[in-house]
Chains A and B, each alone.
Chain A
């Protein structure tokens, strides 16, 4: 045990000496949380639009001022004709154009029917759809206002409630994702690199001829990163509670237990990579391209998994971070208990055991 602690201490010194790396390891979660929490929202707002008003009458002016008042839109300018419209779209100045035909109010009053043309820059399809929806609802409101005295018959009014995240903030979706991402980065990449580094420098030989059991050497390398990752989990949670106003809805204890399990999964993955590779560059490339990218793509926090082609959906099932992401989302955001996440926990556990067994196997083969 004392020997083991000596090794762990040595590993800690390695980690703490490299200031630049350490700075990145601790700075990364903070920066990510701040970016995801504040800068990235899925909500579309402040979009630059242009109004082409051929009518210039009461009705068109009223609708325009309603649109202007909405926080979703910024009317940049009023164009005289549609000739310059194309140019404005091409420089990216505007996202949408709203065109009122001549005699808009007249048509509305006398023919009881008038048209508004909405042109969206659909090069970004989701923004286009969302903006069109916003405009429709503003115009519908205006219409309802017109008809106040004479209510429309048979009116169905949907009442919409946004669960868990009424303001449609980005944080509830991203915080669990960032946790998965950071733990993956620190545990897998750093563990793999630190072990392979000893191989490359030849210091591994020295350790292997020492009376200490080889497996203990490997384990002692994992300990600093286990603790480092715990610190990162705590930092992320503190930031999300106190800075992002995203409280932990479920049990903190459960969240910690699950996080520890995921950290251990990642560490075994890192150890496995380090046993299989001989150069730092390879270890780095495998962990960056082979681990981080799948985490970003297949854990489901960036892109909905159900939209992917089936083979990719199957593939997502072997990505550990997908299960961790579901667990964190359920416990932290939805406030659910263990009975809702036992299945995911079991899967993570299974992956860990599997990785541990094959790592031990190949480690023994290497030594023999």
Chain B
């Protein structure tokens, strides 16, 4: 125990002495948490619209106005032909084409039926899907309004109508930042913990100081624990800072019990630090450790459900994400902060992460060889 105390003091002194590292640990996550949610905004608004109005009637104008009034679309250009509008798509000046055919108003009244053509730039699938969804909805509404206006209320009512009432729980204003901030904080805590621990033992290897430790009575688990505990405390500090930033800048206050969050973070940090230490024991240079850590973190982050839902992934990817610690962390953050989930709701997550922590740290201790 006494040995660990000395290792512990040494580690803390080294961290606090290196201004650059300290800045990276404390300041970078705060700045990133302030800026990233502003940049990482997938709220689909401002869809650029190119209109081809072949009819130029009152009806077509009403329809266009209604589309613009929805707030989702920005009218970028009126075009004479579909071909002309398509060039707007090619130039990235437009995301969506709305083409109203000639005789739109006349045919609608005469034949009771009319077609509209919508072309969406679908390179970005989310934007395309949501854009098409929005415009369909608006056209539907316009259609209903039109029917009422044309005084067909009687005959219309003879037809059964199913009304859909929607309620958006937990985030009624569909605030995208409420969704992103907890996820981004999870990533930042992971990055700080992972990189710090991955680089640390390698640094001692490069400096040669590890030899000095190896000939001393310091035991393997002493050494690993001496590294683990300081970083674990730092990780908790960074997490706390992040929660404060979320509150001050984005007004996000966890709906659930904050101690439930901390309970999870405490276990999670053990797991991610253990992973970093494991990499650290494998590598010989800081450059290698950095690259390997980056490689894994990148896969973990992309597959962790921060940007795209895990449910939509193919089965093999879903299985793979069960072995991804970050996905559990992002999940828990969102559950507790946005939905107010309690300890019972996340107990499965905690148990799994505990398993990760045990396996990874045991592997790190075994892999760290004092003798060859």
Contacts and interface: CB of A to CB of B under 8 A. Distances in A.
Q: State yes or no: do A and B come from one complex.
A: yes
Interface of A: 18, 20-21, 24-25, 27-28, 31-32, 35-36, 38-48, 87, 89-92, 95, 108-109, 112-130, 132-133, 135-137, 139-140, 142-143, 146-147, 150-166, 168-170, 172-173, 193, 197, 280-282, 284-285, 288-289, 293, 297-298, 302-304, 306-309, 312, 326, 329-330, 333-334, 336, 340
B162 A108 contact: yes
B161 A154 contact: no
Contacts of A38: 314, 317
A113 B160 contact: yes
A165 B122 contact: yes
A293 B191 CA distance: 13
B39 interface: yes
B125 A158 contact: no
B318 to A, nearest CB: 9
A164 B311 CA distance: 25
Interface string B74-106: 000000000000000111100000000000000
B334 interface: yes
B165 to A, nearest CB: 5
Nearest to A41: B312
Interface string B150-179: 101001111111111111111110111011
A39 B91 contact: no
Nearest to B143: A156
Contact of A147 (B139, B160, B166, B172): B160
B109 A284 contact: no
Contacts of B290: 284, 288
Given A159-B115, A163-B120, 8 more contacts: A21-B288, A114-B163, A115-B165, A116-B163, A150-B158, A154-B108, A307-B46, A312-B39
Contacts of B46: 306-307
Contact of A152 (B24, B123, B159, B288): B159
29 contacts: A24-B295, A39-B303, A40-B302, A47-B312, A90-B345, A108-B160, A113-B160, A117-B167, A121-B169, A123-B171, A123-B339, A124-B179, A129-B174, A137-B136, A140-B140, A143-B162, A153-B150, A153-B155, A155-B143, A161-B117, A161-B119, A164-B122, A168-B129, A280-B287, A285-B20, A285-B24, A297-B36, A303-B39, A312-B35
B292 interface: yes
Contacts of A168: 122, 125, 128-129
B341 A44 contact: no
Nearest to B340: A90
Contacts of B40: 297, 302-303
Contacts of A123: 170-171, 178-179, 334-335, 338-339
B112 A151 contact: yes
Given A133-B133, A164-B121, A125 B43 contact: yes
B41 A154 contact: no
Interface residues of B, number: 108
Contact of A162 (B43, B120, B170, B339): B120
A150 B39 CA distance: 50
B189 to A, nearest CB: 16
Contacts of B307: 40, 302
Given A48-B311, A114-B160, A122 B172 contact: yes
Contacts of B119: 160-161, 163
B319 to A, nearest CB: 11
A89 B341 CA distance: 9
B137 A284 contact: no
B14 interface: no
B151 to A, nearest CB: 11
B159 A112 contact: yes
Nearest to B74: A306
B250 interface: no
Contacts of B164: 115-118, 135-136, 139
Given A35-B302, A156-B108, A165-B122, A18 B339 contact: no
A140 B292 CA distance: 51
B142 interface: yes
Nearest to A127: B309
A172 B309 CA distance: 18
B163 A113 contact: yes
A121 B176 CA distance: 13
Contacts of B128: 162, 165, 168
Contacts of A139: 162, 164
Contact of A118 (B44, B159, B165, B175): B165
A293 B301 CA distance: 13
A-B CB proximity, top 9 nearest: A122-B168, A42-B125, A39-B317, A168-B125, A42-B126, A162-B122, A133-B133, A122-B171, A123-B338
B157 A112 contact: yes
**Interface-central residue, A27, A115, A307, A333, by most chain B CB under 10 Å:** A307
Interface in B171-202: 171-172, 174-176, 178-179
A165 B126 CA distance: 12
A28 to B, nearest CB: 6
Contacts of B92: 326
A122 B39 contact: no
Contact of B152 (A41, A154, A161, A293): A154
A309 B171 CA distance: 22
